[in-house]
A and B are shown apart, each in its own frame.
Chain A
Amino acid sequence: MGAVSATADERVAKVSVFRRLLMKPELGAVIGAILIFLFFSFLSPVFHSAAGIANWLDPASTIGIMAVAVAMLMIGGHFDLSAGVQIGSAGLIVGILTTHFHLFIWASIAVSLVVVLAIGAFNGYLVVRTGLPSFIITLATFLMLQGLNLGLTKLIINTVQVGGIREEPGYDSAKAVFASQFTLFGQEFQITILWWILWTALATWILMHTRFGNWTFATGGDRNASRNVGVPVKSTTIKLFMIVSAAAWFVGTTEALRLGSMQANAGFGRELIFIVAAVIGGCLLTGGYGSAIGAAIGALIFGMTSQGIVYAGWDSDWFKFFLGAMLLLAVLSNEYVRRRAATQKKG
Chain B
Amino acid sequence: MTMAPETAIDAPVLELRNVSKYFGSVISLKDISTSVRAGEVTCILGDNGAGKSTLIKTLSGVYQPDEGEVLMDGQPITLDSPRAALDAGIATVFQDLAVVPLMSVWRNFFLGSEPTKGKGPFKRFDQATAKSIARKELKDMGIDIRDPDQAVGTLSGGERQSVAIARAVYFGARVLILDEPTSALGVKQAGVVLKYIVQARDRGLAVVFITHNPHHAFPVGDRFLILNRGHSMGDFAKNEITREELTAMMAGGAELEQLAHELSRDSADPQVREAGREFKDEAADLGIAD
- A344: nearest residue on chain B (CB-CB)? B153
Minimum distance in angstroms from A30 CB to a CB of chain B? 20
Minimum distance in angstroms from A62 CB to a CB of chain B? 26
Interface residues of A: mostly helix, strand, loop or mixed? helix
A221-B101 contact in complex given A227-B82, A345-B156, C-beta closer than 8 Å: yes
Tell me if A129 is interfacial: C-beta within 8 Å of chain B.
Answer: no
B154 adjacent to A8 (CB under 8 Å):
no
Give the distance in Å from the alpha carbon of A225 to the alpha carbon of B97 in the complex: 8
A229 adjacent to B102 (CB under 8 Å):
no
Give the distance in Å from the alpha carbon of A218 to the alpha carbon of B86 in the complex: 17
Q: Which residues of B contact A8 (CB under 8 A)?
A: 144, 146
Tell me if B76 is interfacial: C-beta within 8 Å of chain A.
Answer: no
Q: Which of B197-232 contact A (CB under 8 A)?
A: none
Contact indicator per residue, chain A 211-233, by CB within 8 Å of chain B (1) or not (0): 10111011001101111111110
A12-B114 contact in complex given A217-B107, A228-B94, A228-B98, C-beta closer than 8 Å: no
A347 adjacent to B147 (CB under 8 Å):
no
Minimum distance in angstroms from B167 CB to a CB of chain A? 8
A345 adjacent to B81 (CB under 8 Å):
no
Cβ contact of B81, chosen from A4, A215, A217, A227, cutoff 8 A: A227
- B94: nearest residue on chain A (CB-CB)? A228
Cβ contact of B103, chosen from A15, A218, A230, A341, cutoff 8 A: A218
A347-B157 contact in complex given A218-B100, A230-B82, C-beta closer than 8 Å: yes
Give the distance in Å from the alpha carbon of A226 to the alpha carbon of B110 in the complex: 11
A229 adjacent to B101 (CB under 8 Å):
no
Cβ contact of A225, chosen from B83, B86, B96, cutoff 8 A: B96
Interface residues of B: mostly helix, strand, loop or mixed? loop
Q: Which residues of A contact B114 (CB under 8 A)?
A: 211, 214
Q: Which residues of A contact B154 (CB under 8 A)?
A: 341-343, 345
A16 adjacent to B103 (CB under 8 Å):
no
Give the distance in Å from the alpha carbon of A13 to the alpha carbon of B282 in the complex: 44
A12 adjacent to B146 (CB under 8 Å):
yes
Q: Which residues of B contact A342 (CB under 8 A)?
A: 101-102, 151, 153-154
Tell me if A249 is interfacial: C-beta within 8 Å of chain B.
Answer: no
Contact indicator per residue, chain B 67-92, by CB within 8 Å of chain A (1) or not (0): 00000000000000111001100001
Cβ contact of A214, chosen from B62, B87, B111, B155, cutoff 8 A: B111
Tell me if B112 is interfacial: C-beta within 8 Å of chain A.
Answer: yes
Tell me if A23 is interfacial: C-beta within 8 Å of chain B.
Answer: yes
Minimum distance in angstroms from B196 CB to a CB of chain A? 19
Q: Which residues of A contact B288 (CB under 8 A)?
A: none
B125 adjacent to A209 (CB under 8 Å):
yes
Tell me if B119 is interfacial: C-beta within 8 Å of chain A.
Answer: no
Cβ contact of B111, chosen from A210, A218, A341, cutoff 8 A: A218
Tell me if A142 is interfacial: C-beta within 8 Å of chain B.
Answer: no
B112 adjacent to A226 (CB under 8 Å):
yes
Q: Which residues of B contact A232 (CB under 8 A)?
A: 83
A: residues with CB less than 8 A from B are: 4, 8, 11-12, 15-16, 20, 23, 209-211, 213-215, 217-218, 221-222, 224-232, 288-289, 338, 341-347
A-B contact pairs, 25 of them (CB 8 A): A11-B146, A12-B146, A209-B125, A210-B124, A211-B116, A217-B102, A217-B103, A217-B107, A222-B98, A222-B99, A222-B100, A228-B62, A229-B112, A229-B167, A230-B81, A230-B82, A230-B112, A230-B113, A231-B112, A232-B83, A342-B151, A343-B101, A344-B153, A345-B154, A347-B157
